[in-house]
Structure 1
Amino acid sequence: MIEQILAGLAEYWLTILAIFLLICCSGFFSGSETALTATSRARMHTLEVNGDDRAGVVNMLIERRDRLIGALLIGNNLVNILASSLTTSLFLGLFGDSGVAIATLLMTVLLVIFSEVLPKSWAISAPERFALVVAPLVRPFVAIVGPLSSLVNWIVRKLLGMFGVSISGEVSMLSAHEELRGAVALLHREGSVIKADRDRLGGVLDLGELEVSDIMIHRTAMRAVNADEPPETAIRNILESPYTRMPVWRGSTDNIIGVIHAKDLIRALAEPNVEPQDIDIVKVAQKPWFVPDTTNLKDQLNAFLRRKSHFAVVVDEYGEVQGVVTLEDILEEIVGDISDEHDLEIQGVRQDSDGSIVVDGGVPIRDLNRAMDWQLPDEEATTIAGLVIHESKSIPEERQAFTFYGKRFIVLKREKNRITRLRIRPIDAAEPQV
């Protein structure tokens, strides 16, 4: 009789031990799924390059996330079902029919706490470290259960396809640039990345989306040299200019025949027995380089580097000169304004004591966004004056005001059909927009 009681107790304890181990396995699968899906691929790649073999295993596992997640979910469900079945069987023997309800309530609490919340919270707090630890154990399990996981994923895709839903485990919904941009914006909001670094990284990502026409110096603001002027006048204009390179035209500004470099001019003036009136500006000038205004900045930057050039004349589809673009203009889209001791201190933006700002109409929207940390759209217009004209669908009169994008725009000055100065005032959320 005593032997039967002891055998029964031993059987109960073995069942309880089995349930405990199954709950631990369930927690392992849940934590592994969270860690391996949340871990940074960039961090794992760096560790693998530095010789960490476990990081290589992690990279191999997350390369096929659908197969990995499917295998872990299969393992998790198997141990959960088995643990629940054993608990129900044990409690039926102890409490009779009411044991089913007790087993259900107890296993729900145990699985939620120890198989879901606890391991997932632990894994998400340090996903890289957790993933490195569990990867060697997960790898053989995925190798065994992987084929079944692939079959399950195939069945799921077919079922979803019947309802017109198409999914792919290989294609990300976000492009690499969008993922980087989102990560940088999130880190900036959390305080890990300062505004200046966010702007620089954003500038690099924007190069492929912007065209030369978005950043060029427009022909109306372009400084150029008339080849038909007396040499002394041309030389004085070049040396007094804040620019190192200037286009040379003849007849009209659409006829660019060269680009003069100040160093080449100084070198020519330094020749023995050479007077300013003896200098031929056209001979000193270099051959001009013309680029389409639709060229994106990434391609133009590569072209500048490939040609070892810093200056290009921008033309439209009809070959008419639209302006000039320099290597510095493109670099400023990344690092912000680059000023030296010879640059003119004309920013075009002035902030008043009442919180409003006075802006020249030709200030680029991107520069204003970067300076003020605003989000004004620049898809339809390049300058702030162009944005007002686009939104108002007219050429506004002086002192006319408009409200859009959370800002109040007041036209301060207009010359002919050009808006040359505006006042911009952020409006309160409670203030009606009319």
Structure 2
Amino acid sequence: MITLIILILFSAFFSSSETGMVAINRYRLRHLSRQGHSGAGRVEKLLRRTDRLLSVILIGNNFVNNFAATVAAILAIRWLGDSGAAVAPVAITLIMLVFAEITPKTYAAMKPERVAFPASLLLQPLQWLLAPLVWLVNGISGLFLRLFGVRTDGAEEDHLSPEELRTVVNEAGGLIPEKHQKMLLNILDLESVTVEDIMIPRNEMIGIDLDDDMNDILNTLRTSQHTRLPVYRGDPNDMLGVLHLRKLSRLLLKEEINKAELMQYTVEPYFVPEGTSLNRQLIQFQNAKRRIGIVVDEYGDVMGLVTLEDILEEIVGEFTSDQAATTNPDILPQEDGSFVVDGSANLRDINRALHWDIPIVGPRTLNGLILEHLQSIPDANISLRVEDYLIEILQVKDNMVKAARVRKKTVDS
């Protein structure tokens, strides 16, 4: 009887070890191993060859289970006579199922580290002792697997795809503060967002046109809220450089300034292709030691400009603490809960300001979104629905939607 109890305990050990080793978090295991945790180090080493580990566990488990069944049959015949041969299989199956399978495996699935770390103390020497048998069993198993086109000579490494990492961050819950969680997700989004998505469009660029009167240029320099301004002659396509206003502080105190002096403080323009992803552009800004880039299309025409601050704000949100600066002038809230939005407003800015989820694949402005869905230039007082958003066109001018009323559709509306 004592022998049978010991065999059941060994069976429970092998069953729980199998589940604990498989269920353990590989990334937490790797972290603990690098921190010097001895148990984690042993388990990580065992899991490098999962086929060998499972072979040791299954060899031990099958040997113990078969031995236990034999002992149970002998005990049953001794106690019950010939009828014990019929009772033994049923009794040992129920006992093994409850005490050697379900209970230990359930516990191991819930507490894999508590099972795997101490179990590795016994599994490690067993793997060395049973090496010849493991090699034979794995060889036969591998032969059959190759017949079905499955190769076992190389194990896949654990790598997370961006989408899988996004799922891990989303499911982290309270382990990661909500603000940090959002920043991590924004970093993952940098790969799918291009400079064209966040750039300041050409028609909204504030710059210095050297063909303007000098008084107008000085007025722009003194009233500009930006520290860097593009400098061009006549047309932004004739881009001459970028002017850093801080370097002009002493020059602006002079009574007379000429355009030649301004050009002395102008650095060469840094051009950026329109399809460059934000994560790549962030690295390029760092390598080039630049903070502003002129976005150009495939023909070399200027489309707008992008700054380092624009990219960083995609990760951490708005930097400015000025309430007036953080209020989007293109979005005007209405008493009925709707919003009057400028047609040139960027869809990403609208989503960020209103916590909406307007589709941003394709068109980048509200006007572009409306034109894409209508496939024509609309008249005013036309309404349309884009997913969960109701859009009423209020003003059309110069072949584009100038203003529209937008509201998010609710369950009742």
Task: Name the counterpart of 1:333.
Answer: 314
User: 1:352, 1:105 → 2: CA distance?
Assistant: 75
- Please state if 1:324 is matched with 2:305: yes
What's the CA shift for 1:302? Answer: 1.0
Task: Name the counterpart of 1:294.
Answer: 275
Among 196, 220, 233, which residue is 1:250 paired with?
Answer: 233
- Please state if 1:226 is matched with 2:226: no
Does the 8 A contact of 1:227 with 1:281 survive in 2?
no
Deviates more, 1:135-144 or 1:299-308: 135-144
Does the 8 A contact of 2:69 with 2:92 survive in 1?
yes
Q: Deviations over 1:306-333 (max 9, x none)?
A: 2221111111111111111111111111
* Percent of residue pairs bearing the same amino acid type: 34
Does the 8 A contact of 1:232 with 1:276 survive in 2?
no
- Please state if 1:382 is matched with 2:364: yes
Query: RMSD value over aligned CA atoms?
Result: 3.4
Does the 8 A contact of 2:271 with 2:296 survive in 1?
yes
Q: Any gaps of 5 or more consecutive residues in structure 1?
A: 1-12
Deviates more, 1:385-394 or 1:301-310: 385-394
Q: Deviations over 1:163-222 (max 9, x none)?
A: xx99974155x744233211111224xx54454322210111122232221221121222
Task: Classify 1:269/1:372 alpha carbon distance in 2 versus 1 (closer, same or farther; 3 Å).
Answer: closer
Task: Classify 1:393/1:260 alpha carbon distance in 2 versus 1 (closer, same or farther; 3 Å).
Answer: same
Task: Name the counterpart of 1:112.
Answer: 97
Among 276, 285, 299, which residue is 1:304 paired with?
Answer: 285
User: 1:327, 1:102 → 2: CA distance?
Assistant: 78
User: 2:360, 2:154 → 1: CA distance?
Assistant: 34
Q: Deviations over 1:365-412 (max 9, x none)?
A: 445555565555433343455445445555555444444544444444
User: 2:380, 2:119 → 1: CA distance?
Assistant: 69
Give the TM-score of the pair, scaled to structure 2: 0.84
Does the 8 A contact of 1:402 with 1:409 survive in 2?
yes
User: 2:55, 2:350 → 1: CA distance?
Assistant: 49
Does the 8 A contact of 1:232 with 1:277 survive in 2?
no
Q: Deviations over 1:278-322 (max 9, x none)?
A: 773222211111111122212211111122211111111111111
Give the TM-score of the pair, scaled to structure 1: 0.80
User: 2:376, 2:395 → 1: CA distance?
Assistant: 15
User: 2:389, 2:82 → 1: CA distance?
Assistant: 70
In the alignment of these two chains, the number of paired residues is 408
Q: What pairs with 1:4-23 in structure 2 (closer than 5 Å)?
A: 13=1, 17-23=2-8
1:328 partner SS: helix
Task: Name the counterpart of 2:261.
Answer: 280
Task: Name the counterpart of 2:109.
Answer: 124
User: 1:221, 1:352 → 2: CA distance?
Assistant: 25
1:295 partner SS: coil
User: 1:142, 1:376 → 2: CA distance?
Assistant: 57
Task: Name the counterpart of 1:55.
Answer: 40
2:318 partner SS: coil
Does the 8 A contact of 1:357 with 1:425 survive in 2?
no
What amino acid sits opposite 1:308 in the alignment?
Answer: K
Task: Classify 1:206/1:316 alpha carbon distance in 2 versus 1 (closer, same or farther; 3 Å).
Answer: same
- Please state if 1:170 is matched with 2:170: no
Q: What pairs with 1:257-272 in structure 2 (closer than 5 Å)?
A: 257-270=240-253
- Please state if 1:344 is matched with 2:325: yes
What amino acid sits opposite 1:305 in the alignment?
Answer: Q
Task: Name the counterpart of 1:133.
Answer: 118
Q: Any gaps of 5 or more consecutive residues in structure 2?
A: none
Task: Name the counterpart of 1:3.
Answer: none
Task: Classify 1:237/1:118 alpha carbon distance in 2 versus 1 (closer, same or farther; 3 Å).
Answer: same
Task: Name the counterpart of 1:418.
Answer: 400
User: 2:52, 2:338 → 1: CA distance?
Assistant: 56
User: 1:156, 1:343 → 2: CA distance?
Assistant: 71
1:325 partner SS: strand
Does the 8 A contact of 1:413 with 1:422 survive in 2?
no
User: 1:156, 1:393 → 2: CA distance?
Assistant: 59
User: 1:358, 1:109 → 2: CA distance?
Assistant: 70
Does the 8 A contact of 2:338 with 2:405 survive in 1?
no
What amino acid sits opposite 1:215 in the alignment?
Answer: I
2:104 partner SS: helix
Task: Classify 1:413/1:278 alpha carbon distance in 2 versus 1 (closer, same or farther; 3 Å).
Answer: closer
Does the 8 A contact of 2:251 with 2:257 survive in 1?
no
2:306 partner SS: strand
Does the 8 A contact of 1:211 with 1:297 survive in 2?
yes
- Please state if 1:161 is matched with 2:149: yes
Task: Name the counterpart of 1:207.
Answer: 190
Deviates more, 1:390-399 or 1:418-427: 390-399
What's the CA shift for 1:250? Answer: 0.6
What amino acid sits opposite 1:137 in the alignment?
Answer: L
